[in-house]
Amino acid sequence: MGHAVPGSARGSPRSVGPGAEDPTWKQMSHRILVVEDEPDLLEAVVFALRKEGMKPIPCKDGEEALRLVKERRPDLVLLDLMLPGLDGIEVCRRLRASEETARIPIIMATAKAEETDAVIGLGVGADDYMRKPFGLKELVARVRSLLRRSAEPPEAAGQPIRYGELEIDSARHEVRLRGKSIPVTATEFRLLVYLARNPGRVYSRAQLLDKAVGTDVIVIERNIDVHISALRRKLEDYGDRLLTIRGVGYKFVE
């Protein structure tokens, strides 16, 4: 569904350029699973990623995507929302439900204009989303950004953060509740660490976007609401510690 616009997109990444990237990081070859049923778009995306030194793994449907994730262990999944058979929402949900695949970064792509589709995708665990048609330069920038923030610790690793039976371990990139590991996305983890390290302080959505998502991608503040809602659900009774400050943003309470 949809198509890519070569070169520029509808809007530009906020800060993309040679000076914004770590040359050593750029030389790393990442495996990117590209799940797209439209042949021309699949070919264009695969070409663009390969040109940037990445290793794209093409895939045309949801069932094959789940199989390839287990077999090839991609570093990131670019997932179309509308797929034949098993759609992107269900693929994302199943990946997040498995401990082995729960932390793989996912960018969801949708040809639909409704924001609700993006919200649903983020709600089931996608880290980011793109609306079609998108530019290939923007796509590459978003992939790089998500790979970077998934690989880098949100804060300098030190002692785990503990609040009662909730433990947030930056060194292991793990959240545990009553001793049980809770699967969270890279973005959710960064948000939780940032808020929990600064209890009682109120942060606007814009501040949280810059800290947890980064300033080099196009995002909407609504994304933060979806990620916070997902965290509350996953943290069960401890989710009440993530408070909404109406008209301002969010804070974590001890």
Domain borders along the chain are: 4-151, 161-252
Question: Which residues does 24 contact at the CB level (< 8 Å), separation at least 6?
Answer: none
What's the rounded Cα separation, in Å, for the pair 223 and 220? Answer: 6
The single residue listed with the structure tokens 């969010």 is 250
Q: Is the dihedral of CA 222, 228, 230, 233 positive or negative?
A: negative
pLDDT for res 160: 86
* Same topology between domain 4-151 and domain 161-252: no
Predicted local distance difference test score (pLDDT) of residue 9: 35
Domain 4-151 grouped into CATH 3.40.50.2300: yes
3-state secondary structure of 27: coil
pLDDT in tens, the chain (254 residues): 444 544 433 333 333 333 344 444 454 689 999 999 999 999 999 999 999 999 999 999 999 999 999 999 999 999 999 898 899 999 999 998 888 898 899 999 987 655 666 677 777 888 888 888 889 999 999 899 888 877 765 555 567 899 999 999 987 888 999 999 888 888 888 889 889 988 999 988 888 887 766 655 555 567 788 889 889 999 999 999 999 998 889 999 98
Using CA atoms, how far apart are residues 36 and 157, in angstroms rounded to an integer? Answer: 37
Q: Which residues make Cβ contacts (< 8 Å) with residue 190, sequence separation at least 6?
A: 149, 154, 211, 212, 213
Please give the CATH topology (third level) of the domain spanning 161-252.
Arc Repressor Mutant, subunit A (1.10.10)
Q: Phi, psi at residue 191, to the nearest 5°?
A: -60, -50
pLDDT of residue 235: 93
Q: Would you say 242 and 234 are in contact if contact means Cβ atoms under 8 Å apart?
A: no
Query: Whole-angstrom Cα distance, residue 86 to residue 219?
Result: 27
Rg of the chain on CA atoms, in Å: 18
CA distances 158 to 56, 84, 91, 171, Å, are 35, 45, 34, 7
